[in-house]
Amino acid sequence: MIFDTHAHYDDEAYSADREEIISSLPASGIGAVVNVGANKASTGSSLALAEKYDFIYAAAGIHPSDVMEYENGTADTSWLEKCALAPKAVAIGEIGLDYHWDEPAREIQKKWFAAQLRVAKKLKKPVIIHSRDAAQDTYDILAAEGGSDIKAVIHCFSYGPDMARRFLDLGYYIGIGGVLTFKNAKKQKEVLAEMPLESLLLETDCPYMAPTPYRGERNSSLYLPLVVREMAVIRGITESEIEEITFKNAMDFYEIG
Over the stretch 88-143, which tens digit does the pLDDT of each residue have?
A: 999 999 999 999 999 999 999 999 999 999 999 999 999 999 999 999 999 999 99
Q: How confident is the model at residue 185 (pLDDT cuts 50, 70, 90)?
A: very high
Over the stretch 224-234, which tens digit does the pLDDT of each residue have?
A: 999 999 999 99
Q: Taking the complete model, does pTM exceed 0.95, yes or no? A: yes
74 or 216: which carries more pLDDT confidence?
Answer: 216
Domain ranges of the chain: 2-254
> What region does 149 belong to: left with phi over 0, alpha with psi -120 to 50, or beta?
alpha
The Cα-based distances of 229 to 57, 140, 203, 208 in angstroms read 25, 34, 14, 19
At the fourth CATH level, which superfamily is domain 2-254?
Metal-dependent hydrolases (3.20.20.140)
Q: Is 184 exposed, middle or buried (0-12, 13-18, 19+ CB in 10 A)?
A: exposed
Query: Is the CB of residue 159 less than 8 Å from the CB of residue 138?
Result: no
